[in-house]
Amino acid sequence: MVPMAIKYGRRPVYIASTTLQLAAGIWSACTQTAGDLIGSNVLNGIGGAISESIVQMTIADLFFVHQRARMNAAYLFMEYAGSFLAPVAAGYVADAQGWRWIWWWTIIFLAVALVLVVFGYEESKYILRSGSV
């Protein structure tokens, strides 16, 4: 998907990634068999890998060279904080509402993120067309 992000821009790739993750979340919330669990995790991994692989490209698009290290550090800090804090929140949700609600909350957050990406994220890769100045 990185070549697609280079050729067509970051925004459509982020939208596709968030949509795949949303579909995988719905599938995970409704899972009944081990095959459902494996399939939803594969789809979720593909969707998550797409967005995570182009974050550094987006940072390079949006920030000057002297700001990129700080922004990459902020991104990695948020990524690691989410990795450590999400299981704590998931434990409270599973205890209070049941394990399926972990996925329903994920779906809610991903739906909000999809709306924000569709309506709030402008394309960060500008393509100069031949003949235009």
> What is the H or E stretch that residue 31 is in?
none
Domain membership of residue 24 (yes or no) is yes
| Integer angstrom CA distances of residue 9 from 35, 60, 65, 83, 123 | 34, 13, 20, 28, 7
As a whole number of angstroms, the distance between CA 65 and CA 15 comes to: 26
Domain assignment present for 78: yes
| 61 in any annotated domain | yes
Is residue 126, in this structure, part of any structural domain at all?
A: no
User: For residue 56, what are the domain limits?
Assistant: 2-120
Binned at pLDDT 50, 70 and 90, residue 2 comes out as: confident
Question: Is residue 129 domain-resident?
Answer: no
Mean pLDDT over the full length of the chain: 90
For residue 108, is pLDDT > 70? yes
Over range 75-90, report the average pLDDT: 93
The pLDDT > 70 percentage for the chain reads 94
Confidence at residue 19, expressed as pLDDT on a 0 to 100 scale: 96
In this structure, is residue 90 part of a structural domain? Answer: yes
> Would you state the pLDDT for residue 75?
94
Residue 95 inside a domain? The answer is yes
Q: Is residue 57 part of a domain?
A: yes
Split into its structural domains, the chain has a count of 1
Return the CATH number at 60: 1.20.1250.20
Is residue 125 predicted with pLDDT exceeding 80?
Answer: no
> Which pLDDT band holds residue 3 (cuts at 50, 70, 90)?
confident
